[in-house]
Structure 1
Amino acid sequence: MNSFSSQRTETTAPSSLTLQLTSEELGKNGSCIAWTEVSGKTVRVILPGTLPGDTVEAVVELPKKGAHSAIGRVSRFVRKSPGRRSSPCPASALCGGCPLIELTNEAQLSYKKRFLEKLFSAIPGGAPQILDPIPMPHGIDSGYRNKAVLYFEESAGTRKLGMYEAGSHHVAPGTDSCRLCPNWMAEAANAVLHWSKDSGLSVWSESSQTGLLRGLILRSGSSGRLATLVTSSSIPDSASENLIPALQSAGVTDVTVSIKTRPGNFVLGERAQVLLGRGSITAEISGLEFEVRPETFLQVNTPQTPVLYDTAIRLASIDPEDTVLDLYSGIGTISLLLARKAGHVIGVEIVPESVEEAKKNAVRNGLSNTEFFCGPAEKILPDIYSRGIQPKTVFVDPSRKGLEASVPGIITAMGPETVIYIACGPEALARDAAKFHSLGYCLDTLQPVDLFPDTAHIECVARFRRAQ
C-alpha cells in the first residue's frame, strides 16, 4: 500500500491531492488500482493509463461521500513496471481493445491470477484451489481470432472502416486491420472500403439517422470465410454484383447482407440476404463440426476454444452411463463434446435458432444421445426435474451476468454430484459460488484459461462438488 503524507497543491482544488502511487492490481475492464492512506483512511485509487507495477505521480480527486473509489490523473511516470514491453500494435493507444498489451504475457497471467485470488478469497467456504492460468499455445500471439466486427464512419470527407476508439463511437485510425485477426480479414475490409467508395453508397449516420452502410462482420471457419455487410436497407443490384468479386479477392466464400432498420449501435439486422454461397460456414472443434451463421455465438479464440472445453470435461470425470445436463447450450458445442463420453446429454438454450442448429449439428456429427429444449433455464429446469431426470453432472456456461437467481436452487434440488461452471465473468461466478455454498455445494477447483490475451478478461472453469 502506498502510505505517506501529502500537501494540497496550489493548482488543484481542495478536494484533490498530488500523490506518488504504485499500481498494485488489476481492476475491472483493465483499469489498475492503487491504495493509499489519506487522513487516516484507506483510499482505493483507480489509475487509468497505468499497468500493474507502474509508479506514478498523479492528481487524485478524492472520493465524495458514499463513493468507493478515487480517480487519479497521471501527471508523470516515476518508474515503469518491470513487466512492461513495447506495444506490438501501432493502433493500441487509440483502439483500447487490448489495455494490457504493454505487459509481457507472463506478467499478464500473474496479475490475472492475483485478481482471481483476491476475488475468491472472501467467498463463503473458503477460497478454492486456483490453478495457474492455461496460456495461449507457444508461439501463437496473433491471427487467432475467428471473428472481427468493423464499423463504417464518414466525417470531414474521409471514410473509414474499422474498430471504435476506446469509450467512443468513432473509428480509430489504422484499425481496419488487427494483429489478433488473420490477414485475410484486413484484405477483406480494405476491399469493402474501396468498393463502398467506388459504388457511391452513403454511410449511416447515427445522429441524422440516414445513410446505408453500417458495418462489416467477418468470420472464419474450417470450411471457408464468411462476410456479412450490415446496412440500413437493401443495396442496389449493381453494387452487390461488384461486392462479390471484391470479397472473393480476399478468399471470402460466403457473403450475406444483414438489413438493420432500427436505430442504435449496429448489431445484426432483422432481415438477411445471401449473396454468395450458403451464407454459413463450418467450424471444427475437437473433431466435431458446427454450422456457423452470421448470428451464431462461438468462442472467438480458435486455438484456445478446444482447450477450454476439454478442460471443463476433464474436470467433470464423465462416465459412459452418465446423464449430463448442459445449460445455456447454444448451438450444442459443449453438449456434443459431452455426448461422446456420456450416455445421455440434455441441452437447454433460450435462442430458438440456436436450438435448431444444435439439433442439426447433432445429426451432422452422428450423435443420437442428445436432446435439446428451448426456453429460459429457470423455466425449463423445473419441467426436466418433474420428469424425474437426475443428472450426475450439470454444466452451465452463462453470459457475463451469470446465473438467474433461481437457477442454483433448481440445479442443486436435482442432486448432481458435480456442477461445472464456465464463466466469462469471474465476479458473477464469485456471487453464484456463494449461493451454491449455501445450498451445499463447495467450489473446490478454479482453472483459468487465457482466451483474451492483452485484455483484463479471463475465462474460468469452476468445479462445484456436492457436500458429503
Structure 2
Amino acid sequence: MNKINLRIGEKLKVQIMRLGINGEGIAYYKKRLIFVPYALTDEEVQIEITENRPNFSRAKVVNILKSSPYRVKPEDNNFASLSSSHIMHLAYPQQLEFKVDVLRQALNKYRPKDYDKYELRPTLGQANWHGYRNKLTYQLRRLNSGKTIAGLYAEGSHLLINLDFCLVQDKITQDIANHLCKLIDKYKIPVDDERRIKGIKTFVIRRSQLTGEVQIILISSNSQNYDRLIKELTENYPEIVTVASNLHEKKTSEVYGEKTEIIWGQEKITEGLLGYDFELSPRAFFQLNTKQAEVLYHEVIKAVNANKEDRVLDAYCGSGTIGFALAKKVKSVHGMDIVPESVEDARANAARLGFKNCHYETGRAEKVIANMYKSNQRPTAVIVDPPRTGLDEQLIETLVKFQPEKLVYVSCNVSTLAKDLVALSEIYDVNYIQSVDMFPQTARCEAVVKMTKKKI
C-alpha cells in the first residue's frame, strides 16, 4: 500500500500516462495512483486533490499545461456534469482506439488463459453519432420555484442535472420530455421528493427508428390521473402511440415497480433490424442504439458461423432480436429471459414472422440448458448477452459442464467479460474479440467474443 499522504485541495503538476477503463486520466505522484477525469494521455496538467482512498486518489483538472493533439472542444456542455466516463473531449478516431485499449486493460487485469494472444479487432465506429440514443430514463424533481425539471443524476450523487438538451439523445424524445415537464406543472401533478410528497418520480421515453412511434412510461409512487396531460401531450406529438403507467411504491434503486399497464393507446411499437420488423412492449429490452445494434448483430451472426444443423440457445434473449437474425440459417433457436414481458414479445414476434423453429420461455439459462441435455436436444451454439454484471456463476458452471461446441459472448462491460473468460478460456479458444461502439462519446465498450471448444 502506498503511504504517500496527499491533502484534499492540494495542487500538483502531473503527466497523464494513459486513460483508465472509465475514460479518466491516470497519473502517478511518487508512485501514488491518481485518477483525473477529463485529462488525456500525454497531457501535463495541474490538478487539485478531491478524494483520498487507501490505494489511490482522485483529482480534478485545474489547468492544462500541455494539451493532447487529440483534445477537442465538447459539443455538449452537459457531458462533464453527468458522468466522468464521458469522453467527448477526445477526438472520435482516438475514442475507437481507446475502446480496444479498454479491452486490453481488462484482460491484463484478470489474465484469462492465453489472453496476450487474443486477436483484438479495431472498434467498429458510428460515422453519425448525434441523437443515437432511442430511449432515456428521466428522473424528476420539482424546484423551490415550482418548476419541474427532468434529467439524470450527477455521478455518485442525487444532484439532478436538468437535461433539456442532449446531443446523443433522439431529438424528438428530448422535445417530448421537455414538454412533458411543462404539462406536469400545468396540471399540478405531484412530483415525488422521496420524503414528504408522493407522486410521479420518473418517466421513460422510447422511439422506434423504423416507424417513428413513441412509447412513454410514467412511473409514480402512488396512483395519479394523467388524463388531461395525456390528451394535450398526444395532440402536440402524434408520434406518441403508447402511454403506460407503472406504480413503484418502494424506496429502491430499481426504476420500475412490479405492475405496468397501458393507460392510453396501443400496446406495442414496431421496430426494425436486419431486414425484419418486430414489436416491443414498453418494458421490453432493446438496444439503445438502433443503427449500431445492426452492426453488432451482424458480428454475432458472423461469430456463430451457423449451419442448418445448429441448435442455437439464446440466453438473455430479450425480445428475440438476435435469435431472429439466425432463425433462417439454423435448425432451431431456443431463447430464454427472466423478464416475462420480453419473452411474451419474443413469442409474439416469432409467430408474426413465421419462425416456427424459434421457442422462448421465461427462466434462467442454466436450467434451460440442463433440461435440453436431459431431453437430448443439446445446443451446438450458445449466445450470451448478459447485463453489465456479467454471467451468472451458475451459468458459467453449466457452460463448463456441458461444453457446447460454439459460444458467442456479447458483452457491454469489459471488466466482467474478462473476469468471466478466466473460467471459459479453460474450455474454449478465444478466436477473436470484435469491439463495437454502441455508445459513442462514452467510455463504454460493447464486444462480441467468438469462442470454440478446445480440441482435445
Q: Normalised by the size of structure 2, how large is the TM-score? A: 0.90
SS at match of 2:309: coil
Contact 1:206 1:264 in 2 (8 A): no
Cα distance in 2 for residues equivalent to 1:435 and 1:202: 50
CA shift, 1:284, in A, is 1.0
Instruction: Name the aligned partner's letter for residue 113 of structure 2.
Output: P
Tell me the equivalent position of 1:331. Answer: 319
Contact 1:422 1:460 in 2 (8 A): yes
1:252 aligned to which of 240, 251, 264: 240
Contact 1:17 1:62 in 2 (8 A): no
Instruction: Name the aligned partner's letter for residue 16 of structure 2.
Output: S
Instruction: Name the aligned partner's letter for residue 201 of structure 1.
Output: I
Answer with 274-283 or 92-101: which moved more: 92-101
Distance 1:62 1:164, change over 3 A: closer
CA shift, 1:410, in A, is 2.1
2:221 aligned to which of 232, 238, 241: 232
Give the number of aligned pairs: 445
Tell me the equivalent position of 1:463. Answer: 450
Distance 1:370 1:44, change over 3 A: same
Tell me the equivalent position of 1:99. Answer: 86
- Map 1:323-402 → 2, pairs under 5 A: 323-402=311-390
1:130 aligns with 2:157: no
Cα distance in 2 for residues equivalent to 1:309 and 1:196: 39
Contact 2:187 2:228 in 1 (8 A): no
Instruction: Name the aligned partner's letter for residue 121 of structure 2.
Output: L
1:69 aligned to which of 15, 40, 56: 56
Answer with 305-314 or 335-344: which moved more: 335-344
Cα distance in 2 for residues equivalent to 1:18 and 1:144: 39
Tell me the equivalent position of 1:4. Answer: none
- Map 1:213-228 → 2, pairs under 5 A: 213-221=200-208, 222-223=210-211, 224-228=213-217
Cα deviation code 1:244-276 (max 9, x no counterpart): 232341231222222222224462233334232
Instruction: Name the aligned partner's letter for residue 300 of structure 1.
Output: L
Cα deviation code 1:57-79 (max 9, x no counterpart): 23558976xx3323334343211
Contact 1:230 1:260 in 2 (8 A): yes
SS at match of 1:294: coil
SS at match of 2:290: coil
Instruction: Name the aligned partner's letter for residue 367 of structure 1.
Output: F
Tell me the equivalent position of 2:301. Answer: 313
CA shift, 1:106, in A, is 0.8
1:22 aligned to which of 11, 15, 19: 15
Answer with 97-106 or 193-202: which moved more: 97-106
- Map 1:112-261 → 2, pairs under 5 A: 112-121=99-108, 122-127=111-116, 128-136=118-126, 138=127, 140-157=128-145, 158-173=147-162, 175-208=163-196, 210-221=197-208, 222-223=210-211, 224-236=213-225, 239-250=226-237, 251-261=239-249
Cα distance in 2 for residues equivalent to 1:180 and 1:247: 24
Cα distance in 2 for residues equivalent to 1:366 and 1:387: 25
Cα distance in 2 for residues equivalent to 1:191 and 1:75: 37
Instruction: Name the aligned partner's letter for residue 116 of structure 1.
Output: L
Instruction: Name the aligned partner's letter for residue 77 of structure 2.
Output: P
SS at match of 1:406: helix
CA shift, 1:369, in A, is 0.6
Cα distance in 2 for residues equivalent to 1:248 and 1:220: 17
Distance 1:148 1:18, change over 3 A: closer
Contact 1:203 1:213 in 2 (8 A): yes
Cα deviation code 1:89-140 (max 9, x no counterpart): 132232337620111111111122122123224332233100000001x2x1
Bigger radius of gyration among the two: 1
Instruction: Name the aligned partner's letter for residue 392 of structure 2.
Output: E
CA shift, 1:155, in A, is 2.3
Runs of 5+ unmatched residues, structure 1: 1-6
Answer with 116-125 or 323-332: which moved more: 116-125
Runs of 5+ unmatched residues, structure 2: none
* RMSD of equivalent CA atoms: 2.4
Tell me the equivalent position of 2:268. Answer: 280
CA shift, 1:28, in A, is 3.7
1:89 aligns with 2:76: yes
Cα deviation code 1:135-193 (max 9, x no counterpart): 01x2x1212211011122112223212232333223213x1232212221122112211
Tell me the equivalent position of 2:256. Answer: 268
Cα deviation code 1:220-264 (max 9, x no counterpart): 11341112222223323xx51342232341231222222222224
Contact 2:314 2:384 in 1 (8 A): yes
CA shift, 1:300, in A, is 0.3
Instruction: Name the aligned partner's letter for residue 58 of structure 1.
Output: I
Q: Normalised by the size of structure 1, how large is the TM-score? A: 0.88
